C-alpha cells in the first residue's frame, strides 16, 4: 500500500508539471489583463513536439541527441527523493538531498555539453551563461539544505520533513527562515524564472536557458521542456515539503491522505499565485546583476549554518 502511494505521488509530480506551468502562464496573462491560453496548452505543445521530426545539426555528434534524454532521466530520478503528499519519498537514504542537488547539476552539465555540441554561437553563449548561474547557485543551495539537515539532525529528505512536520508552527526557527529565503532565491534561478531568466522570450541578448536549447527540435525539445517543467514542480514541492509540511499524510487512512492532498493543492495554489504576481511585478535583471542575488543567497545560507550551532534542541 505505501509503496503504491509513494509511486503515485512520484508519477503525479511528473505528470502535473506541464499543468503547473500552464496555470502560472494563464494567471500571469490574467494579471496583465489578457485572456491567456488554456492551462492545458503545455500538454498540447508537448504532444505536438513529440510527433515532430528531430532535426540534428550536421556538425553534431551522438551527444546532441543523448543530452536531453539523459538530462530528462536525471531530473526524473531527482523527483523520486521527494516526499509530497505522503511522508516518504519513493527512494530515501541518508544524504539523499545532496544526491538530489547533484543529479540536477549533472542534468544541467549534460544540457550544456549538448548546447556546445550543437555548434551554434547561441548555444555556446547560453551554455556559458547557464554555467555561470549554476556555479553561483550551487553553494547557497547545498549550504541551506545542509543547514536544514543539521537543524533536524537527519540525513534524508524524508527524515528532515518528518522532523519539521513535528515542530510547532509558532516556534519558527531562525535557521528555517534564513534557509527558506536562500532556497527561494536559488529556486528562482535554478528554474530559469524571472528576474534571473525570462522563460517566455526568445530575444537573443537576454536568454539563458532558451539560448541553450535553441538548436533543439521535436522530441528532444519536448523532453527538455518537460524536464524544465518538472524541475519547477520539483523546486516548489521541495520548498513546500521543507518549510510547510504540516498536514502531510503519514498514516494509511483515506481521511489523512485526502486531507494531505487538499492541503498540498492549497499550498501549491499559493505558490502559483506568488510566482505569477512576482513575475508580473519585476523586470529581468541585467546579467551582471545576477551574481548579487546569489551573493545575498550565499550570505543567508551561511548565516543559517551558523545559527544551527546556536539552536536549542
Contact residues toward another protein (CB under 8 A) are 168, 170-174, 177-178, 181, 291-292, 294-296, 298-300, 302-303, 306, 310
Instruction: State the number of CA atoms in the 13 A half-sphere of 291 facing the CB.
Output: 5
* Angstrom distances, CA of residue 130 to CA of 105, 110, 196, 234, 275: 11, 12, 11, 19, 21
**Closer Cβ to another protein, 6 or 176, answer by number:** 176
Tell me whether residue 47 or residue 295 sits nearer to another protein (CB atom): 295
Are residues 297 and 140 in contact, defined by beta-carbon separation less than 8 angstroms? yes
Taking CA atoms, 216 is separated from 45, 50, 76, 139, 234, in Å, by 15, 12, 20, 30, 23
Alpha carbon distance 178, 262 (integer Å): 28
In terms of CB distance, is 269 or 295 closer to another protein?
Answer: 295
CB of 276 to another protein, least distance (A): 21
Supply the minimum distance, in Å, between the C-beta of residue 201 and another protein: 24
C-beta of 297: minimal distance to another protein in Å?
Answer: 9
- Smallest gap from Cβ 170 to another protein, in A, equals 4
Nearest approach, Cβ of residue 208 and another protein (Å): 20
Phi, psi of 267 (to 5 degrees): -60, -45
Task: Report CA dihedral (42, 197, 27, 239) to the nearest 10 degrees.
Answer: 90
The nearer residue to another protein, 140 or 192, going by C-beta atoms, is 140
Shortest CB 307 distance to another protein, Å: 8
Nearer to another protein, 31 or 177 (CB): 177
Q: How far is the CB of 277 from another protein (least distance, A)?
A: 16
Contacts of 236 (CB under 8 A, 6+ apart): 20, 187, 268, 271
Minimum distance, C-beta of residue 182 to another protein, in the bound complex (Å)? 10
CB crowding 176-190: b at 16 or more within 10 Å, else e? bebbbbbbbbbbbbb
Which residue's CB is nearer to another protein, number 19 or number 287? 287
Distances 273 to 16, 185, 270 between C-alpha atoms, Å: 17, 17, 5
Nearer to another protein, 62 or 169 (CB): 169
Closer residue to another protein (CB): 36 or 291? 291
Return the C-alpha cell found at 309.
Answer: 550551532
Amino acid at each position: 500500500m505505501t509503496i503504491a502511494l509513494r509511486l503515485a505521488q512520484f508519477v503525479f509530480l511528473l505528470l502535473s508539471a506541464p499543468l503547473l506551468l500552464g496555470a502560472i502562464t494563464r494567471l500571469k496573462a490574467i494579471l496583465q489583463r489578457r485572456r491567456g491560453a488554456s492551462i492545458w496548452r503545455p500538454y498540447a505543445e508537448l504532444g505536438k513536439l513529440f510527433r515532430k521530426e528531430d532535426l540534428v545539426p550536421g556538425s553534431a555528434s551522438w551527444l546532441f541527441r543523448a543530452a536531453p534524454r539523459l538530462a530528462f532521466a536525471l531530473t526524473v530520478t531527482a523527483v523520486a527523493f521527494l516526499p509530497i503528499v505522503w511522508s516518504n519519498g519513493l527512494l530515501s537514504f541518508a544524504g539523499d538531498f545532496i544526491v538530489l542537488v547533484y543529479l540536477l547539476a549533472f542534468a544541467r552539465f549534460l544540457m550544456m555539453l549538448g548546447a556546445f555540441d550543437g555548434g551554434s554561437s547561441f548555444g555556446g553563449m547560453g551554455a556559458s551563461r547557464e554555467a555561470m548561474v549554476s556555479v553561483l547557485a550551487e553553494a547557497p543551495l547545498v549550504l541551506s539544505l545542509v543547514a536544514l539537515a543539521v537543524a533536524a539532525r537527519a540525513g534524508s529528505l524524508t527524515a528532515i520533513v518528518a522532523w519539521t512536520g513535528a515542530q510547532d508552527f509558532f516556534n519558527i526557527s531562525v535557521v528555517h527562515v534564513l534557509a527558506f529565503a536562500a532556497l527561494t532565491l536559488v529556486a528562482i534561478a535554478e528554474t530559469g524564472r524571472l528576474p534571473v531568466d525570462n522563460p517566455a522570450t526568445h530575444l537573443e541578448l537576454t536568454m539563458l536557458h532558451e539560448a541553450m536549447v535553441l538548436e533543439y527540435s521535436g522530441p528532444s525539445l519536448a523532453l527538455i521542456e518537460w524536464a524544465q517543467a518538472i524541475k519547477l514542480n520539483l523546486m516548489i514541492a521541495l520548498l513546500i515539503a521543507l518549510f510547510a509540511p504540516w498536514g502531510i499524510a503519514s498514516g494509511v487512512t483515506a481521511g489523512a491522505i485526502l486531507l494531505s492532498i487538499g492541503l498540498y493543492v492549497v499550498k501549491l495554489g499559493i505558490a502559483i499565485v506568488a510566482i505569477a504576481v512576482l513575475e508580473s511585478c519585476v523586470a529581468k535583471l541585467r546579467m551582471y546583476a545576477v551574481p548579487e542575488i546569489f551573493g545575498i543567497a550565499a550570505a543567508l545560507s551561511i548565516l543559517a549554518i551558523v545559527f544551527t550551532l546556536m539552536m536549542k534542541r
